[in-house]
Amino acid sequence: MKRRGAIKYLTLGTGAFFITPAWATGWAKTSVSLAPTFLTVAQGELLAEVVETIIPKTDSSGVDSPGAKDLGVHTFVQRMVTDCYEKAAQDKVKNGLDTVSAMSIESYGKSFEQADTTQRLALLTRMANSTDNNQKEFMALMKSLTIQGYVTSEYVMTNFYHYVMAPGHYYGCVPVQAKAPAEKETTNKR
């Protein structure tokens, strides 16, 4: 039975790899144009703040790295959930965002967008460690898609991974230098 389960999950994983849309690798804000989405405008703005809380803008040793919101990862997440997930997962995202909003107002008396960074992190951590499976699954999906969107963005691929579409470059017209006379004599004697 274990072997059958392993084969099943391997097949599903391989299928998921081939099903992932082509735009999901090395994407940029312009390449992920948002078609009609399942989220309202307010939920989309809340999603932008959630992904920014997961991967915030940083300044380490004088090098600024943009946060998830700056790179448009929230747009990537919306597009992935719209294109690659079923309605049940889309509903889970909607309900999760509504829960984030309600918990923020209940806990801090203000919206998630108005909460400070410490409050935001505490709220998302509480949801990730909750006994409610819906909250756990929502946070797991948000973390996963945020990380995927961030590391596959055009900015990260080109500036941190130095990704080149086709490695190496062919230089067809390179001038050839003539060998020095001393080198010619030694190569002829051999």
Which pLDDT score is estimated for 1?
47
Q: From CA 2, how far away is CA 14, in angstroms rounded? A: 18
Which pLDDT score is estimated for 38?
80
Q: 89 CB contacts (<8 Å, ≥6 apart)?
A: 81, 141
* Structural domain includes residue 185: no
Q: What is the pTM of this model?
A: 0.69
Q: Which residues pair with 60 in a beta bridge?
A: 63
* Structural domain includes residue 59: yes
Residue type present at position 88: A
Q: From CA 165, how far away is CA 183, in angstroms rounded? A: 40
Domain boundaries, position 133: 25-162
Phi and psi (nearest 5°) for 174? Answer: -110, 125
* Structural domain includes residue 175: no
* Structural domain includes residue 64: yes
The total domain count for the chain is 1
pLDDT tens-digit profile, the chain (190 residues): 466 665 655 565 555 544 555 545 555 666 566 566 788 889 999 999 999 999 999 876 667 889 999 999 999 999 899 888 999 999 999 999 999 999 999 999 999 999 999 999 999 999 999 999 999 999 999 999 999 999 988 888 888 777 666 666 677 777 777 776 665 555 555 5
* Structural domain includes residue 90: yes
Which pLDDT score is estimated for 115?
94
* Structural domain includes residue 112: yes
* Structural domain includes residue 171: no
Q: From CA 160, how far away is CA 81, in angstroms rounded? A: 26
* Structural domain includes residue 118: yes
Helix (H/G/I), strand (E/B), else coil: 60: strand
Which pLDDT score is estimated for 83?
86
